[in-house]
Chains A and B, each alone.
Chain A
Amino acid sequence: MQKQVELSPEQIRDQKVYRDWGLTDGEYDLISEKLLKRLPNFTETGLYSGMWSEHCSYKNSKPILRKFWTKGSRVIQGPGEGAGVLDINDGQAVVFKAESHNHPSFVEPYEGAATGVGGIIRDIFSMGAKPIASLDSLRFGELSNPKNRFLLDKVVAGIAGYGNCIGIPTVGGEIGFDKCYDGNPLVNVMCVGIMDQADIEAGRAHGTGNSIIYVGAKTGRDGINGATFASSQFSKEEESDRSAVQVGDPFMEKLLVDACLEITHKHSDILVGIQDMGAAGLVSSSAEMAAKANSGVDLNLDLVPQREPGMTPYEIMLSESQERMLLCVKKGHEQTVLDVFERYGLDAVVIGSVNDDGQYRLSQHGELVCDIPTKTLVDDVPEYTHPLVEPARLKQPAPHFTPEFDDLGTMVKQMLGQATIASKQSVYQQYDSRVQANTVLAPGSDSAVVRIRGTKKALAMTTDCNSRYIYLDPFQGGQIAVAEAARNIVASGALPIGITDCLNFGNPDDPESYFEMSKSAEGIAKACEQFDAPVIGGNVSLYNETDNAAIYPTPLIGMVGLIESNDQITKASAKAADELVYVVGKTFDDYSGSEIQKMLADQISGRIEHFDLATEAKNQKLVHTAIVDKLVDSVHDISEGGLIVTLLETLFENELGFTGKTALTREQLFSETQSRFVITVPKQNQAAFEKLAGDQATLIGTTTADHELHLELSNDNLNLDVNEMNQIWKEGLSWLMKSKA
């Protein structure tokens, strides 16, 4: 077969080819002059470009990631491994992580989203945990643009196609729409797993002579150097850069999950380490496993299962073909492991071994094609701090915005039909949310709740990030993102125990973008400490810009909470008529970044006011105590759209009505003041609840059986048919998807 012509080391230097692969002149000089003291060849240059990409090395974001609070009494494994691990008592642990698949999902939305699901699942079971749930946080441009309707449709189909087949329930997530995501949709996927603490695995390769085993799909020419692709900006011309997107096979992944969990559970004595082949494929998994254990590896590329003939070492090592894992197994015990994989019908091959001189050596056709110190791929990546410049919009916020509208009822109807507000049922009903038969609260709840079989415990989980607030005030917005996630968790009866994040930002070389990233990370860190929810892992997605238009800074928060006793699980829907309805927390005129501001002004602006962590924590504590004391029947947190949207959502499921009176203005029904909940309390608990709540909660009315809403306000009256509102809310998204713009 014909061997592809590779450029010589001198040609790479003279033609500066490395620049096309994302390495800077300075990085290339560092490699050739200091680390290798010779010119790297074609393959080696390719390996550095993948491993030193932002996606693999976090070279631009490390200084920011260090700001995160990662301690906490439950942390067993913090950031740095495939996924973080937290103690959930009784010798059990929860493992979770979120990851972005933004760029591939824009180019090829079905496969981009599907392989995003596949990748994050591998991170979870490579820790030895059984994946029990996944969630998706999605952002698109406005649905008036047909391209965005196409992206939403295909991304959802991709998540469903992969997630449903593999048998992990998709239990939650959220979807938001804003113009800034035109050309830069966000697809962030979170996976949660549970395990016995004794079964925790690590991605390490040590012990001279121990074998490196490749398992799963064959390596093909798909997603070659995708990590570098993910670490650059888009331009219109690159929309068709399809070779950098992978294709998923969920059936193969299901077999991989089952086989790998069998090995981690039954053969942990001979398994040294296990890691998935994610970004930068075979090179990142093998180099990271060896570097973490201060060892090296010798790999024979002729042994790597390949989908097509004639692949170069560069292609083999940087392919991002899906559904592949790398294992390190004790010498002499390889057959035991190979037998398990054979039973599942999976390709598994010994492709090399661990060495003790720390070199990363690759051979192909009897020739040595790479011989470099392993650590230089992983640990010698330069770190970049960037200048911070406060964006002008933050220095001089726009004046206070007050919503002005004619008819209140009409305004409520318009609000319920907004893409961000309307029910997402048409999306989440495409996901199997109940497989594994543990789902207690399915999508559509404040947070999903999955019980842990055989115990009284349950896990609550949510994803959240209101990027509008971060755009207006990165520090407070970062705090609010965590606070709102915690509010979701508390509403379901749980207490937060930790978070994972996906930091979706623009180009880090833009000092204003870097400022947003830095300040929001500080806000997240501060709030995490307040809620005792350490950051245990996550990922970074930079360069979310197309032709220099950046997204709102969007650090997605994926939070997990623990419910000690499953009789505390609380729903968002009111159960019955004649229950008292309270608003926990004070309502002010907060319209900056609100949905109503976006609707009426077609932009967001202004200053974030009336938020502080102490009030947030106090209100959450009240709600949690009321749940534990069994004083409340339902709890729903107030977020986008304000009190009126939350109140109606509380009534929809059981077709209830409401009658009440409040001192609030009609405008304040749409205020998005933080730290608030709508709760319902059975009448017999009124005295006990009011004693507990003091002035933190205000009684606004009672639920009724007639599905009509009557609310007397200080400057208006609101009368609505709740069922009619329900229909507008339920069908809103479908209408927008069918609209012809």
Chain B
Amino acid sequence: MKFAVISFPGSNCDWDMYYAINDALGEEADMVSSESTDLDQYDGVLIPGGFSYGDYLRSGAIARFAPVMKAVKKLADAGKPVLGVCNGFQILVEAGLLPGSLQNNTSMEFISDWAPLKVVNNRTMFTNGYSKDQVIKVPIAHGEGNYYCDDATLQELKDNDQIVFTYEENPNGSCDNIAGITNRAGNVLGMMPHPERAVESILGGTDGLTLFKSILNQVRS
């Protein structure tokens, strides 16, 4: 399986994602510039964390206009997996591929820690390797991870099983403890926690690797 890791100016988890796929998962990932316009050769897209364009204006607000985003939409429309982590989640929201928005943490401080997450929906292409309600441990590192959406949208997210991960201990004030959601079709996942940082036991855990394996399971079955 061949992934594109999209590197925007200011992305800083792009190589972490690249190594998670190439070394820990043992699949192929290319580093693809945000200037490129064609992702047709890829089976999936990974939008990494960081501070694209310095996160100036608002997180992800400038990145949504990058040339590559049209190709990301095309690939998402084709039903292929698109994963946005941290800044990647913010970009997907800004680009309209996912509903809602991400606000400043209620503490108004950046927070970096290991976060226990509950797998609320294990029937997605990103979570089929977890059991339902399994609690996994994945690092978080963000200043604007406080997910917000209006009540109608929240109800829709619930009705369609789009809430995939919730925090066991809410670190940022996000509504309904939301840590990660999919689009309605289920092939676009945005999440604030960093699964690519939890793929080796020496780094503190491998719960994130299961997410990438889940994508493989889905595609291969």
Q: Does A397 contact B (CB under 8 A)?
A: no
Partner of A164, one of B141, B199, B202: B141
| Residues B51 and A165 in contact, CB atoms below 8 Å apart | yes
Report yes or no: A435 in contact with B51, Cβ–Cβ below 8 A.
no
Contact, CB under 8 Å: A566 / B202? yes
Q: Give chain B's interface residues, CB within 8 Å of chain A.
A: 9-10, 12-13, 15-16, 19-20, 49-51, 53-56, 109-113, 139, 141, 143, 194, 196-197, 199-200, 202-204
A433: which B residues are within 8 A, CB to CB? 112
CB of B51 within 8 A of CB of A250, answer yes
A434, B197: Cβ atoms under 8 Å? yes
The chain B residue with its CB closest to the CB of A431 is B112
Instruction: Name the CB-closest residue of B to A168.
Output: B12
CA distance in complex: A440, B199 (Å): 13
Interface residues of A in 423-438 (CB under 8 A from B): 428-438
Given A429-B113, A430-B112, A566-B202, does the pair A435, B16 have CB atoms closer than 8 Å?
Answer: yes
A254 within 8 A of B: yes
Whether B110 lies near A436 (C-beta < 8 A) is no
Whole-angstrom CA separation of A569 from B16 in the bound complex: 22
* Complex interface: chain B residues within 8 A of A167 (CB): 12-13, 50-51
Closest Cβ of chain A to B175, distance in Å, is 22
Task: Report whether A165 and B141 are in contact in the complex, using a CB–CB cutoff of 8 Å.
Answer: no
Nearest chain A CB to B161 CB, angstrom units: 30
B residues within 8 A CB of A431? 110, 112
Q: Which one, A160, A439, A453, A569, contacts B110 given CB within 8 A?
A: A160
For the complex, what is the distance from the CA of A503 to the CA of B102, rounded to whole Å? 43
Output the residue of A432, A438, A569 with the most chain B CB within 10 A: A432
Q: Which residue of A lies closest to B16 (CB)?
A: A437
Q: Could you write out 20 A-B pairs with CB less than 8 Å apart?
A: A157-B109, A161-B110, A164-B51, A164-B110, A164-B112, A165-B55, A166-B12, A250-B54, A345-B9, A429-B111, A429-B112, A430-B111, A433-B112, A434-B139, A434-B194, A435-B49, A435-B141, A437-B197, A437-B200, A451-B202
Nearest Cβ in chain A — how far from B139, in angstroms? Answer: 5
Interface centre among A160, A165, A344, A435 (most CB of B within 10 A): A435
CB of A372 closer than 8 Å to a CB of B = no
Chain A residues with CB under 8 Å of B139's CB are: 434
| Cα A165 to Cα B112 with chains together (Å) | 13
A435 to B50, CA, bound (A): 9
Contact B12 A435 (CB under 8 A): yes
- CB neighbours (8 Å) of B9 from chain A are 251, 254-255, 344-345
Chain A residues with CB under 8 Å of B199's CB are 437
Q: Give the residues in chain A near B49, CB-CB below 8 Å.
A: 435
Within the complex, which residue of A165, A250, A435 is in contact with B13, where a contact is CB–CB below 8 Å?
A435
Interface residues on A, range: 20 to 34
B43 to chain A, nearest CB (A): 23
- 14 extra interface residue pairs, beta carbon distance < 8 Å, beyond A435-B16, A436-B15, A437-B203: A160-B110, A165-B51, A167-B50, A251-B51, A428-B112, A430-B112, A432-B112, A434-B112, A435-B12, A437-B200, A438-B203, A439-B203, A566-B202, A569-B202
Question: When A and B form their complex, which 3 residue pairs have the shortest distance between CB atoms, in order from nearest?
Answer: A167-B12, A251-B54, A437-B16
Neighbouring A residues of B197 by C-beta, 8 Å: 434, 437
Do A251 and B16 form a contact, CB below 8 Å, given A429-B113, A437-B196? no
Chain B residues in 8 Å Cβ range of A250? 51, 54
Q: Does A249 contact B (CB under 8 A)?
A: yes
CB nearest neighbor in B for A433: B112
Q: By the criterion CB–CB under 8 Å, are B53 and A254 in contact?
A: no
Q: A157: which B residues are within 8 A, CB to CB?
A: 109
Contact with B along A495-522 (1 / 0, CB 8 A): 0000000000000000000000000000
Docked Cα-Cα span, A250 to B10, in Å, equals 9
List A contacts of B112 (CB < 8 A).
Answer: 164, 428-434
- Cα-based distance from A149 to B109 in the complex (angstroms): 16
Q: With A and B bound together, what is the CA distance between A161 and B144 in angstroms? A: 12
Interface membership of chain A positions 418-459, coded 1 if the CB is closer than 8 angstroms to chain B and 0 otherwise: 000000000011111111111110000000000101000000
Residues of chain A within 8 A (CB-CB) of B56 are: 251
B202: chain A residues at CB < 8 Å are 440, 451, 566, 569
Q: How far is the CA of A164 from the CA of B9 in the complex (A)?
A: 15
Q: Which residue of B lies closest to A157 (CB)?
A: B109
Q: When chains A and B are docked, how far (Å) is the Cα of A164 from the Cα of B197?
A: 15
What distance in Å separates the Cβ of A77 from its nearest Cβ neighbour in chain B? 26
| B17 nearest in chain A by CB position | A437
> What residues on A are CB-neighbors of B53 within 8 Å?
251
Most buried by A among B51, B110, B112, B196: B112
Which residues of chain A are near B16, meaning CB under 8 Å?
A: 435-437
Per-residue 0/1 for A155-172: is the Cβ within 8 Å of any B Cβ (1 yes, 0 no)?
Answer: 001001100111100000
- How far is it, in angstroms, between the C-alpha of A497 and the C-alpha of B143 when the chains are bound? 36
Chain B residue at minimal CB-CB distance from A167: B12
Contact B12–A437 (Cβ < 8 Å): no
Inter-chain contact B12/A254, CB cutoff 8 Å: yes
Determine the chain B residues whose CB is within 8 A of the CB of A428 once the complex forms. 112
Select from chain B the residue with minimum beta-carbon distance to A165.
B51
Chain B residues whose C-beta falls within 8 Å of the C-beta of A255 in the assembled complex:
9-10
Separation in Å of the A218 CB from the closest CB of chain B?
Answer: 16
CA A166 to CA B12, docked complex, whole Å: 7
- On chain A, the residues within 8 Å of B203 by CB distance are 434, 437-440, 451
Cα A437 to Cα B16 in complex, Å, equals 6
B141 and A251 contact, CB distance less than 8 A: no
Q: How many angstroms from the CA of A429 to the CA of B49 in the assembled complex?
A: 17
Distance, CA A433 to CA B19, complexed state (A):
18
The residues in A between 640 and 673 inclusive whose CB is less than 8 angstroms from any CB of B are none
A439 proximity list for chain B (CB < 8 A):
203
- Interchain nearest-CB distance for B21 vs A (Å): 12
Once the chains are docked, how many angstroms separate the CA of A436 from the CA of B55? Answer: 19
